[in-house]
Amino acid sequence: MMNKTGIALIGLGPAALPHAKSLVDLADRVDVRWAVSRSAARAQAFGRDFPFPVTTDMAAAIADPTVQAVLVLTPANAHGSVAEACFAAGKHVLLEKPLETTLARAEAIVASGRKAGRRLGVVLQHRFRPASLRLRDILKAGALGTIEAASLTVPWWRPQSYYDAEGRGTFARDGGGVLMSQAIHALDLFRSLVGVEKVVAAQVRRTRLHRMEAEDHVSALLTLGGGAPASLVATTSAYPGGPEAMQVIGSAGTATLSGGGLDVGYVDGRSETMAPEGNSGGGANIMDFPHDAHRALIADFLDALAENRDPVVTGEEALATQRLIADIIRADPTCSQPV
């Protein structure tokens, strides 16, 4: 029988819900030793919903010798200090996106994990959707031929009440707006599938639909790794919100990944379709999506620990996506927001 991995969760906000559901599903593989929140009320409420011991003592949870790995689910500005404490205690870390609020702090986390000899995974779960995995196989096999063009759109919606919550959409807590907090999932998948060689031009804006510090609308022209043109539009101002969509145009066919669904049409007349498994959280209900991809990502992280290998989404992979976000922001000469 497989030995269970001792797990601690740190941070019990909305981001913890799909993780907690996944850990319940993976109960034969994990032993959740602690669920940690600074708020006693939040910890108690979480303990009523999930069968995990709760505490407000983060240091004790990290120091627990029965804990081998920690899921860090705090806001981005706490990732660095919590991850450093975990590495110092000899724990592996699975970190919510983004790595940190700035590139320098993100780079420090990745370097710290490598120096400590601990595994670092990052929660960019769109890579584990079945349709995403199928498109990756199609591209790897060269079934679409030469990539001629691609596009990515993230037409999401967030009401003002979302940004009224303390710290939301600020540089200090989140590190940015739509790119770092929402579109990062789709952008990471896009980059991992087709590569991005250069950001040609960008517009990084805050629309009049929101009162917030960071951007809520971004458009960019990109050049892919093979030299083909590509475009990006990402927003949280497109009421009522819709699924993110990626289109890859090849010499032998075109693939469209919309939410968790896939449609492929080949020039020779063949086609294939995969229906989406559920919504993608693109509207006002930010948790309106299934937790299957989270479960698959956590399972891969557990496999990585058992097999002494890196997880699929390493710190370096997440860092490459965060660097792309920084390049997009820098490509707008009118934008002075920090990266």
Residue 19: pLDDT above 60? yes
pLDDT for 287: 67
pLDDT for 2: 63
- SS3 category, 334: coil
Element (H, E) at 18: helix 16-25
Q: What is the phi/psi pair of residue 62, to 5°?
A: -65, -35
Binned at pLDDT 50, 70 and 90, residue 121 comes out as very high
pLDDT tens per residue, range 51-109: 999 999 999 999 999 999 999 999 999 999 999 999 999 999 999 999 999 999 999 99
Span 3-10, average pLDDT? 96
Q: What is the phi/psi pair of residue 287, to 5°?
A: -105, 20
DSSP state of 78: G
> Which two tokens mark 330?
């820098």
Span 112-127, average pLDDT? 97
Cα separation, 100 vs 208, in Å, equals 27
Q: Would you call the peptide bond into 98 cis, given omega within 30 degrees of 0 as the criterion?
A: yes
Nearest to 196 by CA among 155, 248, 242, 243: 248
Span 151-158, average pLDDT? 97
Alpha-carbon distance values, 166 to 77, 150, 169, 220, 276 (Å): 13, 37, 9, 29, 33
Burial class (CB in 10 A: 0-12, 13-18, 19+), 270: exposed
- Percent of the chain topping pLDDT 90: 92
Burial class (CB in 10 A: 0-12, 13-18, 19+), 115: exposed
pLDDT, mean over the chain? 96
Nearest to 322 by CA among 105, 114, 131, 125: 105
Alpha-carbon distance values, 33 to 53, 61, 121 (Å): 6, 8, 19
Pick the more confident residue, 187 or 287. Answer: 187
pLDDT for 1: 47
Residue 234: pLDDT above 80? yes
Q: What is the phi/psi pair of residue 226, to 5°?
A: -90, 5
Nearest to 38 by CA among 78, 65, 67, 68: 78
Cα separation, 331 vs 200, in Å, equals 7
pLDDT tens per residue, range 179-195: 999 999 999 999 999 99
All domains of the chain in start order, with CATH: 5-126+294-313 (3.40.50.720), 127-286+320-330 (3.30.360.10)
Reported pTM: 0.95
pLDDT tens per residue, range 73-86: 999 999 999 999 99
